[in-house]
């Protein structure tokens, strides 16, 4: 590991959105260890919220740009966080995928095109997780409340499953017994020795295969090595006690949406507070009869501009915004034990949807960013002319650099996001 102090990330973020043509120096490699990163700046976190059906555009995008814009109906619950928040208009990934677009929010790349890109279709959160490694017990967490979350993609094209509140609680607070820990340590040993054997076996198969097959078998070899690394990282945490909490175990199958959202988002805040993880993605959903609405979320998204259905959709969406506002309250009022200040100061909270509306459009994705150490307070509208449109990956690149990664490109980014500067 290099003893050189890695370049200060500020040399990257010009804020003017200029793309870098610097050669990739060893110290700027994205795979700097988290230990080295700790030398450069505060520990950063990112939380991404999403939903599967977008936001009703007339009530989401502010009419005015700059500061002092009037909060539209859907953003009104976030008024008290205005100063820490930036709303974006006219960012998207240039894709036309309908519902499947929801899975591309954090990478801007369709799964089937992944092989054309150097990092595959890895999502921004997983990029950050790879970099952070075993700094926290959980490199990242994927959760969902009453809905789906398909945001997180590994480098190998695995779309990670999301967990619910009960599962999240167990992960955060349920410690294995002493015996359980011994068994788990034993299991790591056994599996490591199994991996040695199967690797050798696979190499002998590899030698006998044609070239195309060898490439495919390489996936297996990479997996074996990847698992070995993962076990080594997890083992580091095995003997550490998990944090304690007075919070009770969340019930499964909560009927009341308010209860479930509040419990779930409180757990997310706790996860950050205890530094169990620094990277979270969460899907926000709705179940029939939530908010007194009898139809399904899908049905409301197909409103066809019919008044009652639009009203239903807006109620669903507004509720999500209220819950996010409450989550932000929590972060603001919680001390950041690592960096000082409050948790929101160094936590980037992004809300975005890969499918922008129920009409299956993937243009002009509804997005806003809160906290994390950026200068906020404005509604930023990017150009609409075809040759001047800004890729949403530029925002993701800015977030990754802010997180600490020394990268100058991510997904389909052309530069960092103009107009988004750090404090």
**Which residues contribute to the site for other proteins (CB under 8 A)?**
93-96, 98, 108-113, 116, 154, 156-161, 190-191, 193-195, 197-198, 200-202, 204-205, 208-210, 212-213, 216-217, 219-220, 222-224, 226-227, 230, 288, 294-296, 298-299, 302, 304-306, 359-361, 363, 384-387, 389, 412
Name the residue nearer to other proteins (CB basis): 67 or 383: 383
Name the residue nearer to other proteins (CB basis): 242 or 302: 302
Name the residue nearer to other proteins (CB basis): 230 or 274: 230
CB of 294 to other proteins, least distance (A): 8
Name the residue nearer to other proteins (CB basis): 295 or 315: 295
Name the residue nearer to other proteins (CB basis): 146 or 389: 389
Strand order in the sheet with 347-352: 141-145, 279-284, 45-50, 347-352, 367-371, 85-89, 379-381
Name the residue nearer to other proteins (CB basis): 2 or 19: 19
Q: From CA 278, how far away is CA 128, in angstroms rounded?
A: 9
In which residue are the tokens 């590994």 written? 154
CB of 374 to other proteins, least distance (A): 27
CB of 413 to other proteins, least distance (A): 12
CB of 220 to other proteins, least distance (A): 5
Q: How far, CA to CA in Å, does 243 sit from each of 45, 235, 249, 319, 327?
A: 19, 17, 14, 31, 20
How many Cβ atoms are within 10 Å of 298's Cβ, its own excluded? 13
Name the nearest CA neighbour of 145 among 349, 284, 324, 291.
284
Q: From CA 145, how far away is CA 208, in angstroms rounded?
A: 48
CB of 162 to other proteins, least distance (A): 12
Query: Structure tokens of 149?
Result: 């979350």
The β-bridge relationship of strands 91-92 and 390-391 is: parallel
Q: How far, CA to CA in Å, does 263 sit from each of 93, 162, 174, 279, 333?
A: 33, 16, 17, 19, 17
Q: From CA 277, how far away is CA 275, in angstroms rounded?
A: 5
CB of 96 to other proteins, least distance (A): 5
CB of 397 to other proteins, least distance (A): 16
Name the residue nearer to other proteins (CB basis): 75 or 417: 417
Name the residue nearer to other proteins (CB basis): 195 or 315: 195
In which residue are the tokens 């993609």 written? 153
Q: How far, CA to CA in Å, does 392 sit from each of 92, 166, 412?
A: 5, 33, 8
Name the residue nearer to other proteins (CB basis): 244 or 304: 304
Q: From CA 167, how far away is CA 234, in angstroms rounded?
A: 18
CB of 55 to other proteins, least distance (A): 15
Nearest-5° angle of CA 117, CA 122, CA 126? 150
Name the residue nearer to other proteins (CB basis): 193 or 246: 193
Query: Structure tokens of 58?
Result: 């007339």
Cα dihedral 305, 76, 293, 296 in deg (nearest 10): 60
CB of 304 to other proteins, least distance (A): 3
CB of 224 to other proteins, least distance (A): 7
């Amino acid at each position: 590991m290099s003893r050189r102090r890695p370049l200060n990330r500020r040399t990257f973020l010009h804020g003017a959105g200029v793309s870098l043509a610097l050669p990739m120096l060893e110290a700027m490699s994205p795979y700097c260890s988290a230990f080295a990163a700790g030398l450069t700046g505060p520990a950063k976190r990112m939380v991404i919220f999403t939903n599967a059906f977008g936001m009703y555009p007339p009530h989401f995008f502010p009419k005015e740009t700059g500061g002092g814009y009037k909060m539209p109906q859907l953003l009104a619950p976030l008024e008290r966080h205005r100063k820490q928040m930036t709303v974006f208009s006219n960012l998207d990934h240039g894709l036309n995928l309908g519902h499947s677009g929801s899975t591309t929010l954090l990478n801007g790349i369709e799964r089937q095109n992944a092989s054309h890109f150097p990092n595959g279709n890895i999502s921004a959160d997983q990029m950050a997780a790879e970099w952070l490694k075993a700094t926290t017990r959980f490199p990242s967490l994927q959760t969902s409340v009453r809905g789906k979350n398909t945001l997180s993609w590994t480098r190998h094209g695995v779309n990670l499953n999301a967990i619910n509140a009960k599962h999240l609680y167990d992960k955060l607070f349920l410690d294995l017994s002493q015996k359980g820990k011994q068994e788990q340590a034993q299991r790591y040993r056994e599996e490591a020795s199994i991996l040695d054997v199967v690797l050798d076996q696979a190499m002998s198969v590899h030698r006998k295969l044609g070239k195309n097959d060898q490439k495919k078998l390489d996936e297996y070899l990479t997996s074996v090595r990847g698992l070995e690394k993962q076990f080594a990282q997890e083992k580091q945490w095995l003997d550490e006690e998990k944090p304690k909490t007075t919070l009770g175990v969340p019930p499964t199958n909560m009927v009341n949406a308010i209860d479930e959202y509040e419990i779930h988002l409180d757990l997310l805040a706790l996860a950050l507070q205890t530094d169990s993880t620094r990277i979270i993605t969460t899907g926000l959903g709705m179940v029939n009869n939530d908010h007194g609405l009898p139809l399904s979320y899908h049905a409301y998204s197909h409103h066809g501009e019919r008044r009652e259905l639009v009203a239903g959709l807006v109620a669903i969406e507004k509720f999500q915004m209220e819950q996010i506002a409450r989550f932000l309250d929590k972060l603001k009022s919680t001390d950041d034990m690592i960096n000082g200040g409050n948790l929101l100061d160094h936590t980037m909270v992004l809300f975005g949807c890969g499918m922008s509306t129920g009409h299956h459009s993937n243009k002009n994705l509804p997005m806003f960013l809160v906290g994390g150490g950026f200068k906020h307070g404005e509604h930023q509208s990017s150009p609409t002319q075809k040759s001047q449109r800004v890729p949403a990956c530029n925002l993701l690149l800015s977030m990754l650099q802010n997180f600490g990664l020394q990268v100058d490109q991510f997904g389909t980014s052309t530069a960092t996001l103009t107009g988004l500067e750090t404090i």
